[in-house]
Amino acid sequence: MKPLFEFFIKLCILSVILWGVIFAGLNPGSVDYHSVFLAWIMVVTNTVAGYLLFDYALDKESSVFTKVVFGGLTLRLLLLMVLVALIIIRNLAVVNDFVFSFFAFYCIYVIVEILGYQKKNKQKKKTA
């Protein structure tokens, strides 16, 4: 199976599990689902962008790889910080629910992103 497809399958499975836990484990009305969903969308988009940038840069020369991966990481984090600030300043979400879920999702999805990098590297070494 191709690593990109496998990565998306793992993201979908993880997302279904996490949302199942959120809906089953939390009392209705105890959390603002809009805030949690907003945080989830931001983190999933960030994770997919990071993996796609890594996938693009993997076969490039070292300097291009470094610029794309680490420059992309810097830009993605800056964009996330700006979006989080806008959401908090404009009161577009319940701050506590949004920040907690954003932090939790980010910690979980960054692990999936790193595991995707490792899987892609292993496959590249096997074909070389």
pLDDT in tens, the chain (128 residues): 577 888 899 999 999 999 999 888 877 788 899 999 999 999 999 999 999 999 999 889 999 999 999 999 999 999 999 999 999 999 999 999 999 999 999 999 999 999 888 888 787 777 76
**With the C-alpha atoms ordered 106, 109, 115, 117, is the resulting torsion angle positive or negative?**
negative
C-alpha 48/C-alpha 43 separation (Å) is 9
The total of other beta-carbon atoms located within 10 Å of residue 101's CB is 24
pLDDT of 128: 62
Q: Which amino acid is at 42?
A: M
pLDDT of 1: 58
